[in-house]
Amino acid sequence: MPYVGASVKCAEDPRLLTGRGRYVEDLVAPRMVHVAFVRSPHPHARIRHLEAAAARRAPGVAAVLTGDEAAGLCKPCRGILLHYQGMKTGAMLPLARGRVRYVGEPVVAIAAASRAAADDAAELVDVAYQPLPAVLSPDAALEPGAPLIHEELGDNLIYEARITAGDVDAAFAGAHRVYRRAFTTGRHTGVPLEPRGLVADFDASTRALTVWISTQVPHMMQAVLADLFGLAEHRVRVIAPDVGGSFGIKIHVYQDDLAAVALALMLGRPVKWIASRRESFLSDIHAREQRIGVEVAAAADGTVTAMRASIAAAVGPYSAYPRSSVVEGGQVLRLLPGPYRLRHYDATLRVVAQNKVITSQYRAVGHPIAAAVTESMLELIARDLGLDPAEIRRRNLVRPQEFPYTSATGNVYDSGSYQAALERLLDVAKYAELRREQAAARAAGRHLGIGLSCFIELTGPGAQFYGVGGAPISGQEGATVRLEPSGAVTALVGVTNQGQGTPTALGQIIADELGVSLDAVTVLSGDTAMVPYGGGTWASRGMPIGGSATLLAARALADKIRRLAATLLEAHAEDIELGDGRASVRGSPDRGLGFGELARTVHFRSNALRGLEPSLEATVHYANPQAWTFTNGAHLAVVDVDIETGKVRVLKYVAVDDCGRVVNPALVEGQIAGGIVQGIGGALWEHCAYDAAGQLLTTTLMDYAVPTAVDIPPIEVHHLETPAPGLAGGFKGAGEAGTTGAPAAILNAVNDALAPFGAMITDQPITPERVRRALEREGGS
């Protein structure tokens, strides 16, 4: 036991106590403390009084952190992207100061010897609130005289934009028919198996911060934490071990994360915080809450000629940092034309603050909303004109010879199989047979519906997405591949793994390029002190960008191996072949070296290399040379609607997806199927529901209904492969396509079942209550 100053031992406690009343164990290896939060019970209120003295005296408590104290450690942040001109938002701090703006906003953070002790101390904090009027809907937020969530901003409008193309007025004036509907999408959240959490450790002597955190974006977190806490970026290390699911909610900076880090700086000891499931519902970002009014003009043959839309996106009191909360609405604004040849377009977007949990990017950002609106309108037109839903899509989809195709909103669809995917879907799903079965079921009194959806998915973006807006989010990705002295291969990659199998897919790429077994390849990621700088995993960029960087790094290493082997084998580099973990001379398989022997020579007997660099390592950084690349797909759902109860049962689901070159079909199928399940959940059950007072009603898995195995039929997945022409590996993203296509297919299937009654649903989730209301409006029951 080290001696620190004057010390005594107590009979009741054999630990050594220093003269300053601190245990030596704590000075040598400070024990970890655990964090609990006092959170706001009000959607909008002033903090009139806060008393934490009793909590500070509670057993096991190491520190109590208030908003004022946290503000002295951490700068305020605003989630503003500069290329969204005119955007504004209030400042966000680790803990509320003076005012709370949503139920669940952290007000006080308590660090104690155990989570239970911290929770007990939190009960002793006395906070007196003066409730203020809460703004809970976009309409209420924009009314004259509406309560201001941030008074300094002057209103509750965070951002507005408009996109126009073509001659919309003329197209509508000359249309055969004009169709109008209003759509709403309820709030969802990610519900990953592993909740958010971190351990932060600060060394005051070197001002070095290490954070183990469940995140998708280690390098972004490194940059953000260094900036907000005034630390040297190279002194901040972020480690993201294997993450138990994320779905986009772990790409953001949260108030409670910042408060836990502030406690680590304050205490100089490890600090741990893990969200409870209730805390997750109250603090994880929500998404999807939007209302879209849409008008579509169509010709007599079903050709869609023009679209008008107005989008209202409600995003909570703050814009998420650093990615902002305007991107989802912006995606809907740009994606409503879908995979169709729509040339005349006029749409507006208004992003509005409200007193609910912050909303921001979540799996398939904006895509499911846009697809559900556009696909529903196509089916409405088809019913009115007496066309089959498949036929109206054939008449409007972008044709193969039209690629690359520039949409009305300026998106460049680089490649795809839009028509082929639809035809493949109709074939493998036996569409004509399904229609016959549907007719027979209807004759027997059952209400079956068949829904189609065709969609696009923006994947693999570069700096155009965030970097140009000033956010510290890398659009490029780095990969290092090296041959070890043992002959094994190690790869260090910037993209992270949240359960989607990225290490396996990247390992396969490396194994194929170097001619080694997959077992010989180790892929490491998630540590800013170890891996090349990169953007992490988001927007389905793991394979398009990370996979391409890994491919090129493996090729660069293969070239090094060939040159080194050629020197050692006295041959030409172009005659060296790699396979089975060996480098051998073409036509003379006996003249070769195993990778282990080659690597040991390079590392230990470099004098034999005749001047060549003794290196068996290659690093490549890669960015998409274009803005992004587009995946596409076509899905079909069959549902059975009980018109007496309104219950919807999914009977069949078939998907055809084109994500470019497929590395591992099983992993892609898992991503597509998982996304479909998440999309079905959002369409039918999932909803972050609030009451009229701004209280979140769905804070447990008893209330927030995620789909179970009982709810989902077997999902049939088929693949097409149209390589991305501008990317090194031809890869496109696969992680979000299922979530994009499923809500539209389900919504269309339900409306197909209700069509004989003249009923149509435009609100999600499609609850039994909404089904019954739609039928009652049309007198269908």
Over 47-85, what HEC string results? EEEEECHHHHHCCCEEEEECHHHHHCCCCCECCCCCCCC
Nearest-5° Cα angle at 51, 47 to 52 = 125
Report whether pLDDT(348) > 60: yes
Give the pLDDT confidence of 242-254 residue by residue, as tens digits: 899 999 999 999 9
Report whether pLDDT(8) > 80: no
Q: Note the pLDDT of residue 780.
A: 59
Q: Note the pLDDT of residue 465.
A: 83
Across the range 734-750, mean pLDDT stands at 97
Q: Note the pLDDT of residue 249.
A: 96
Q: Note the pLDDT of residue 10.
A: 38
Confidence category of residue 17, pLDDT binned at 50, 70, 90: very low
Exposed/middle/buried for 31, CB within 10 Å: 0-12, 13-18, 19+? exposed
Q: Note the pLDDT of residue 241.
A: 87
Exposed/middle/buried for 665, CB within 10 Å: 0-12, 13-18, 19+? exposed
Q: Report DSSP letters for 616-685, one per residue.
A: -EEEEEE--SSS-EEEEEEEEEEEEE-TTT--EEEEEEEEEEE-BS-S-HHHHHHHHHHHHHHHHHHHHT
Exposed/middle/buried for 343, CB within 10 Å: 0-12, 13-18, 19+? middle
Q: Note the pLDDT of residue 589.
A: 84
Exposed/middle/buried for 179, CB within 10 Å: 0-12, 13-18, 19+? middle
Bond prior to 404 in cis (omega within 30° of 0): yes
Q: Which residues contact 53 (CB under 8 A, 6 or more apart)?
A: none
Quote the tokens at residue 139: 């309409």
Q: Note the pLDDT of residue 226.
A: 98
What is the rounded distance in angstroms from the CA atom of residue 285 to the CA atom of residue 99? 20
Confidence category of residue 7, pLDDT binned at 50, 70, 90: very low
588-594 β-sheet, strand order:
576-579, 582-585, 588-594
Q: What share of the chain is helix, strand, coil (3-state, %, to 5)?
A: 30, 25, 40
Hey, what's the torsion of the CAs at 529, 533, 538, 543, to 10 degrees? -110
What is the rounded distance in angstroms from the CA atom of residue 582 to the CA atom of residue 595? 5
Give the pLDDT confidence of 483-497 residue by residue, as tens digits: 999 999 999 999 999
% of the chain with per-residue pLDDT over 70: 96
Cα distances (angstroms) measured from residue 773 to each of 502, 605, 688, 766, 779? 45, 80, 21, 11, 10
What is the rounded distance in angstroms from the CA atom of residue 321 to the CA atom of residue 151? 20
Alpha helix (H) residue ranges in 270-401: 277-283, 327-335, 367-385, 389-394
Report whether pLDDT(700) > 80: yes
Report whether pLDDT(478) > 50: yes
Residue whose entry in the numeric block shows the structure tokens 């003009």? 297
Query: Which DSSP state fits 755?
Result: G
Across the range 620-630, mean pLDDT stands at 95
% of the chain with per-residue pLDDT over 90: 94
Strands (E), 433-486: 448-459, 477-483
Report whether pLDDT(296) > 50: yes
Q: Note the pLDDT of residue 158.
A: 97
Report whether pLDDT(758) > 70: yes
Report whether pLDDT(27) > 80: no
Q: Note the pLDDT of residue 242.
A: 87
Q: What does pLDDT average to over the chain? A: 95
Q: Which residues contact 213 (CB under 8 A, 6 or more apart)?
A: 197, 198, 199, 221, 238, 239, 240, 257
Considering all CA atoms of the chain, what is the largest pairwise distance in Å, rounded to the nearest integer?
A: 94
Across the range 37-53, mean pLDDT stands at 98
According to DSSP, the residues that pair with 18 across neighbouring strands are 7
Report whether pLDDT(23) > 70: no
The Cβ of residue 391 has, within 10 Å, a number of other Cβ atoms equal to 13
Give the pLDDT confidence of 650-660 residue by residue, as tens digits: 999 999 999 99
Give the pLDDT confidence of 505-538 residue by residue, as tens digits: 999 999 999 999 999 999 999 999 999 999 999 9
Report whether pLDDT(25) > 70: no
Confidence category of residue 12, pLDDT binned at 50, 70, 90: very low
What is the rounded distance in angstroms from the CA atom of residue 396 to the CA atom of residue 405? 13
Give the pLDDT confidence of 57-112 residue by residue, as tens digits: 999 999 999 999 999 999 999 999 999 999 999 999 999 999 999 999 999 999 99
Quote the tokens at residue 242: 């294997």
Q: Note the pLDDT of residue 29.
A: 57
Q: What is the pTM for the complete model shown?
A: 0.94
Report whether pLDDT(642) > 80: yes
HSE (side-chain half, CA atoms, 13 Å) at 729: 33
Give how far the C-alpha of residue 378 lies from the chain's centroid of Cα atoms, to the nearest Å. Answer: 28
Give the pLDDT confidence of 186-216 residue by residue, as tens digits: 999 999 999 999 999 999 999 999 999 999 9
Nearest-5° Cα angle at 215, 69 to 242 = 135
